[in-house]
Amino acid sequence: MIAPHVSDTDALYLIKVGEIHLKDGNRTEFDDRLKYDIKHRLAGIKTELSSREGRFYLRIDEKESTRAEYVLSHTPGVNGWARAHRVRKDIESIEEAAATVISPYLEAGPQSFKIEARRSDKGFPLDSYGVAREIGGRLLRRFPGLSVDVHTPALVVNIEIREKAYVFILGGSGVRGLPVGSGGRGLLLLSGGIDSPVAGFRMLSRGLALESLHFHSYPYTSREAWEKVRDLASALACYAGGMLLHTLSFTEVQLKIQKDAREEYATLYLRACMMMAADMVAKKLKLNSIVTGESLGQVASQTAENMRFTGSFTDMALLRPLVGTDKEDIMRQARTIGTYDLSIQPYDDCCVLFTPKHPVLKAAYEKSREEFLAMGFEKSVAETIDSMNTVRLPCAFTPLREP
């Protein structure tokens, strides 16, 4: 129920939840998790969040509406949202509200529309079809730029007749997917590149809460390179609701690889050491999976054979959400989620140090594992974890538009 003591001048949002609808058995758990997440992101602000008939309703002080819209646009599990007009249940008030929601769209020129009405108050004199017909007719007479298109309308005006009448156009789009944490908590291997932030975003939107792990090779990599990774983790924190970024120094490990390994195996062995470290960290932090931004065939270390090799250094669930995604599509998504411009800043990642001219493309599994294990990397990798550095990155609020 929407609590009665909230003033009618507060902003009211209708929230369409996503795939939660598929989860019949544990629906309440998913609902509760999403509600908790939205409330947590709006901590310190007086809000009322309720659910009814498969929708959420958020009521919040008008002054906080920009922040609310930011949160609703960045929270996995939210499919879409709308600022709703809540009016008296009479045709004139509903017409006024419908005119108010539709008129900004008409500034751009003529528009097609349809009305979708739902009547859960069966005492209301018109049924859903009657409401749609009546309000549709009135809007057509009122706005010459409007035309009806029931199949592919540009605008859908929603009218819901409940204890009051709600009128809205679903304008804001959400991240979709599942509430963060419903899939457990994983470890994202976050480099400064384009791919891993996108991989992280994809898993966040599948409900996997994330902590990030970055390997640097100071002084071979710079302070700025780490700051770039921190900024990428901060960008992901906006979707995650906050993020822990762990950093390990891999300088010693890389120097050992350079000293002991055959040159063409340097990158592959570095990846194997990263996987070993990720496995140890994930287990220490009791996480359920490891996430990477690998994509089949993108570079030499990402052939199926080499991914088999690196993947063999963990028995955790190893999630590679980009494995079948084209680089251009990854770049497009990086732009959409706001990480692309950070990723293309030109700071060296530790992977480019001591990069072999001719990296091995298809490691022979048994032979390479034997050779790698004989070099005894486990001890030097474990030592890096003893001095792991962790920062907590908040879900920084950046307004979508100037208030």
To ligand ATP, the closest distance from the beta carbon of 351 in angstroms equals 5
Taken as a whole, the chain contains a residue count of 403
Distance of CA 292 to the CA centre of its chain: 15
If you write DSSP's letter for every residue of 243-258 in order, what string do you get?
A: EEEEEEE-HHHHHHHH
Do 240 and 180 meet the contact criterion of CB atoms below 8 Å apart? yes
d(CA 212, CA 190): 6
Between 73 and 288, name the residue whose CB sits nearer to ligand ATP: 288
Q: Would you give the binding string for ligand ATP spanning residues 210-229, x where CB under 6 A is met?
A: ----xx--------------
Out of 15, 187, 189, 363, the only residue in the binding site for ligand ATP (CB under 6 A) is 189
| Partner whose binding site includes residue 190, from ligand ATP, Mg ion, none (CB under 5 to 8 Å by kind) | ligand ATP
Q: Indicate the pairing of strand 185-189 with strand 55-60.
A: unpaired
Between 117 and 275, name the residue whose CB sits nearer to ligand ATP: 275
| Partner whose binding site includes residue 215, from Mg ion, ligand ATP, none (CB under 5 to 8 Å by kind) | ligand ATP
| Partner whose binding site includes residue 191, from Mg ion, ligand ATP, none (CB under 5 to 8 Å by kind) | ligand ATP
Backbone phi and psi for residue 56, each to the nearest 5 degrees, phi listed first:
-105, 150
Between 146 and 322, name the residue whose CB sits nearer to ligand ATP: 322
CA-wise closest residue to 193 among 52, 302, 48: 302
Between 31 and 195, name the residue whose CB sits nearer to Mg ion: 195
CA terminus-to-terminus distance, the chain: 30
Between 2 and 317, name the residue whose CB sits nearer to ligand ATP: 317
Question: CA distances (Å), 28 to each of 24, 33, 58, 90, 370, in order?
Answer: 9, 8, 18, 34, 49
Between 38 and 353, name the residue whose CB sits nearer to ligand ATP: 353
DSSP class of 84: P
d(CA 227, CA 214): 11
Residues 347-376 that bind ligand ATP (CB under 6 A): 349-351
| Partner whose binding site includes residue 384, from Mg ion, ligand ATP, none (CB under 5 to 8 Å by kind) | none
**# residues near ligand ATP by CB under 6 A:** 18
Between 15 and 330, name the residue whose CB sits nearer to ligand ATP: 330
- Based on the shown chain and the rule CB under 6 A, indicate whether residue 320 belongs to the binding site for ligand ATP: no
To ligand ATP, the closest distance from the beta carbon of 280 in angstroms equals 14
Q: Which helix (H) or strand (E) holds 165?
A: strand 165-168
Q: Which residues bind Mg ion (CB under 5 A)?
A: 195
- Based on the shown chain and the rule CB under 6 A, indicate whether residue 249 belongs to the binding site for ligand ATP: no
Between 172 and 193, name the residue whose CB sits nearer to ligand ATP: 193
Backbone phi and psi for residue 265, each to the nearest 5 degrees, phi listed first:
-100, 0
- HSE, CB side, 13 Å, CA atoms: give it for residue 63: 2
Helix (H, G, I), strand (E, B) or coil at 35: helix
To ligand ATP, the closest distance from the beta carbon of 321 in angstroms equals 10
Helices (H), 160-313: 195-204, 223-240, 251-260, 266-284, 304-311
To ligand ATP, the closest distance from the beta carbon of 369 in angstroms equals 19
- Based on the shown chain and the rule CB under 6 A, indicate whether residue 117 belongs to the binding site for ligand ATP: no
- Based on the shown chain and the rule CB under 6 A, indicate whether residue 191 belongs to the binding site for ligand ATP: yes
Residues 119-134, buried b or exposed e (16+ Cβ, 10 A)?
beeeebebebeebbeb
Residues 289-308 that bind ligand ATP (CB under 6 A): 292-294, 298-299
Between 112 and 298, name the residue whose CB sits nearer to ligand ATP: 298
Helix (H, G, I), strand (E, B) or coil at 148: strand
To Mg ion, the closest distance from the beta carbon of 195 in angstroms equals 4
Q: Which stretch binds ligand ATP (CB under 6 A): 5-13, 44-52, 151-159, 288-296?
A: 288-296
- Based on the shown chain and the rule CB under 6 A, indicate whether residue 16 belongs to the binding site for ligand ATP: no
- Based on the shown chain and the rule CB under 6 A, indicate whether residue 254 belongs to the binding site for ligand ATP: no
Q: In sequence order, what are the residues at sequence separation of 6 or more whose Cβ sits closer than 8 angstroms to the Cβ of residue 258?
A: 266, 354
Between 16 and 214, name the residue whose CB sits nearer to ligand ATP: 214
Do 36 and 75 meet the contact criterion of CB atoms below 8 Å apart? no
| Residues near ligand ATP, by CB under 6 A | 189-191, 193-196, 214-215, 274, 292-294, 298-299, 349-351
